[in-house]
């Protein structure tokens, strides 16, 4: 067994103090379950480029990037400048602005099959309204989704997100595991769980297709392992769905950062609707639903088959629209290519270190994303990513080692690179992992 000595913990007095205050006002001390804590979170003071400074004066290379959102790192100067002048002109209106048209035009130009767009405020909302749009269009209530993947907090999208070996049921018929006690059973009744890369399981989709409005699928589900689809899987999934009039929703909230045209296009998936978020807001809250013109018509007209009213107090606010457009404009094809090369360097370097040390780890991911698994073989689907106690402890040690070396490595889902990074940062990441494995082998 690999054992790693606990890394020296950097000073965290001010974070401790803030967490004490946080515990008095929040049920668990912060307001997001996803905040890293070990056992106390590090409170952020400022971010510049690829680096984040905490309230104790520690500086870290940030591989979290606010859950992959900050593709240009922190305080990206063109966005700071443009948003500052927009703030002086007003931050939100009940009226539309030109900024929403400019961002929508860009998304339509880049992301197939986006022909029409609606803006909302988060990825959760984008997924929720995409599902509602699919229901309104097809007149059917149920959805299918992939086991273990994360799609935000809409009830139907949450089912099957967090199964365990005790609850997830047989591989040939995964259980629609609710996320929390008290979740209405009727919600689970309307969710079919499929396993990623399970071609045989697609028959189950066709068996209940007359109740299904859509299949919700992230082309590379991050929480479920940041695992690539097997060749042909996504095409077969779409074919099964389309044969029965079931729509495909590509959840690109996270994976849009994989390329100029997004991840679905990259991996040959042809969705009917696309849920977007994160990078398209340039660091401000955003979500977007895009898709085929005929399907998106449900948002627009009371005539015709379906009609789906959708508003939102802050939807399409000019700050998010403007920041998002600047962020996306800077993401040229060349810049995506450069990010992909950096990602390749990191994944290749990490894998080489694993081989050199003969360590029981593997690496998944693509483009600017990577994930380290405490598993000898790279997982092919969610169930294979499930960690036992020893593996979880290994991940904790890995996380601490990175932290002690000045790198924030997300312990769960996806680690991400940002455009301010270069060779210095990729080398730092690979060297840090190599160092972890060297120490690990000494015991
Ligand atoms: N879908 C995916 C694939 C995501 O990664 C996320 C957020 N991590 C969401 C949906 C939800 O987005 P938000 O947190 O903006 O609600």
- pLDDT tens for each residue of 31-60: 999 999 989 999 999 999 999 999 999 999
Whether residues 326 and 366 share a domain: the answer is no
Kindly give the distance from the C-alpha atom of residue 150 to the centroid of ligand 1, in angstroms, as a whole number.
7
Among candidates 363, 366, 382, 383, which has minimal Cα distance to 374? 363
Residue 436 and residue 431: Cα distance in Å, rounded?
Answer: 9
Whether residues 29 and 141 share a domain: the answer is no
Give mean pLDDT, residues 376-395.
Answer: 95
Helices (H), ranges, 316-388: 318-330, 333-357, 382-385
Whether residues 58 and 157 share a domain: the answer is no
Distance of CA 177 to the CA centre of its chain: 21
Q: Examine the fold and report which residue of 330, 360, 383 is the final residue of a domain before the chain moves on.
A: 330
Atom of ligand 1 nearest to the CA of 34: 8
Residue 321 and residue 318: Cα distance in Å, rounded?
Answer: 5
Whether residues 200 and 236 share a domain: the answer is yes
Q: Examine the fold and report which residue of 269, 297, 330 is the final residue of a domain before the chain moves on.
A: 330
Whether residues 198 and 106 share a domain: the answer is yes
Q: Examine the fold and report which residue of 330, 349, 369 is the final residue of a domain before the chain moves on.
A: 330
- Nearest-CA residue for ligand 1 atom 10 is 151
Q: How confident is the model at residue 304 (pLDDT cuts 50, 70, 90)?
A: low
- Nearest-CA residue for ligand 1 atom 14 is 123
**Whether residue 251 has its Cβ less than 6 Å from ligand 1:** yes
Q: 49: which DSSP letter?
A: B
**Whether residue 284 has its Cβ less than 6 Å from ligand 1:** no
In a domain, 6, yes or no: no
Among candidates 127, 98, 102, which has minimal Cα distance to 289? 127
Whether residues 250 and 345 share a domain: the answer is no
Kindly give the distance from the C-alpha atom of residue 255 to the centroid of ligand 1, in angstroms, as a whole number.
10
Give mean pLDDT, residues 338-353.
Answer: 98
In a domain, 4, yes or no: no
How much is the mean pLDDT over the chain?
95
Out of 143, 196, 278, give the residue to mutate to test ligand 1, the one with the largest number of ligand atoms within 8 Å of its CB: 278
Whether residues 85 and 168 share a domain: the answer is yes
- Nearest-CA residue for ligand 1 atom 5 is 254
- Nearest-CA residue for ligand 1 atom 1 is 151
Q: How many domains does the chain have?
A: 2
Q: How confident is the model at residue 305 (pLDDT cuts 50, 70, 90)?
A: confident
Kindly give the distance from the C-alpha atom of residue 438 to the centroid of ligand 1, in angstroms, as a whole number.
35
In a domain, 7, yes or no: no
- Which residue segment(s) compose the domain that 19 sits in? 13-71+333-440
Out of 67, 127, 253, give the residue to mutate to test ligand 1, the one with the largest number of ligand atoms within 8 Å of its CB: 253
Give mean pLDDT, residues 394-410.
Answer: 95
For the segment 308-324, what is each residue's pLDDT rounded down to a tens digit? 999 999 999 999 999 99
Atom of ligand 1 nearest to the CA of 287: 15
Q: What is the CATH number of the domain that holds 199?
A: 3.40.640.10
Give mean pLDDT, residues 402-416.
Answer: 91
Whether residues 325 and 388 share a domain: the answer is no
Kindly give the distance from the C-alpha atom of residue 162 to the centroid of ligand 1, in angstroms, as a whole number.
15
H or E element in which residue 191 lies: strand 191-194
Q: What is the CATH number of the domain that holds 354?
A: 3.90.1150.10
Q: Is residue 114's pLDDT more than 60?
A: yes
Residues 6+ apart with CB under 8 A from 396: 38, 411
Whether residues 127 and 20 share a domain: the answer is no
Bridge partners, 74 (sequence order): 49
Residues 6+ apart with CB under 8 A from 6: 397, 400
**Whether residue 258 has its Cβ less than 6 Å from ligand 1:** no
């Amino acid at each position: 067994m690999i054992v790693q000595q606990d890394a020296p913990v950097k000073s965290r007095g001010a974070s401790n103090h803030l967490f004490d205050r946080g515990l008095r006002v929040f049920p668990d001390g912060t307001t997001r379950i996803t905040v890293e804590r070990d056992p106390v979170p590090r409170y952020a003071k400022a971010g510049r480029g690829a680096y984040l400074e905490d309230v104790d004066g520690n500086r870290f290379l940030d591989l979290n990037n606010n859950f992959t959102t900050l593709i240009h790192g922190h305080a990206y100067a063109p966005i700071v400048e443009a948003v500052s002048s927009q703030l002086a002109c007003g931050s939100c209106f009940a009226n539309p602005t030109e900024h929403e048209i400019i961002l929508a035009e860009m998304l339509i130009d880049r992301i197939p099959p986006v022909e029409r767009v609606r803006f909302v405020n988060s990825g959760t909302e984008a997924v929720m309204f995409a599902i509602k749009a699919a229901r309104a269009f097809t007149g059917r209530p149920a959805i299918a989704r992939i086991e273990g993947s994360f799609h935000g907090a809409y009830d139907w999208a949450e089912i099957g997100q967090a199964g365990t070996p005790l609850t997830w049921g047989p591989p040939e018929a995964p259980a629609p595991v609710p996320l929390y006690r008290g979740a209405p059973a009727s919600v689970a009744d309307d969710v079919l769980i499929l396993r990623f890369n399970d071609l045989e399981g697609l028959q189950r989709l066709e068996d209940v297709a007359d109740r299904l409005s859509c299949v919700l699928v992230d082309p590379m589900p991050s929480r479920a392992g940041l695992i690539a689809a097997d060749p042909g899987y996504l095409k077969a999934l779409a074919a099964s769905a389309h044969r029965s009039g079931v729509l495909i929703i590509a959840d690109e909230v996270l994976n849009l950062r994989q390329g100029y045209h997004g991840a679905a296009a990259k991996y040959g998936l042809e969705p009917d609707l696309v849920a977007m978020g994160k990078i398209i807001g340039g660091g401000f809250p955003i979500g977007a639903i895009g898709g085929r013109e005929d399907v998106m018509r449900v948002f627009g007209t009371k005539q015709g088959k379906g009609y789906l009213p959708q508003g939102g107090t802050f939807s399409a606010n000019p700050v998010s629209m403007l920041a998002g457009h600047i962020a996306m404009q800077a993401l040229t094809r060349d810049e995506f290519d450069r990010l992909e090369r950096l990602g390749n360097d990191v994944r290749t370097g990490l894998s080489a270190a694993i081989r050199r040390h003969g360590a029981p780890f593997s690496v998944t991911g693509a483009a600017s994303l990577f994930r380290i698994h405490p598993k000898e073989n790279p997982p092919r689907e969610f169930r294979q990513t499930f960690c036992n106690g020893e593996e979880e402890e290994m991940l904790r040690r890995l996380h601490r080692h990175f932290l002690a070396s000045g790198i924030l490595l997300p312990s769960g889902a996806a680690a991400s690179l940002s455009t301010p990074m270069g060779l210095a940062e990729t080398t730092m990441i690979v060297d840090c992992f190599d160092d972890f494995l060297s120490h690990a082998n000494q015991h």
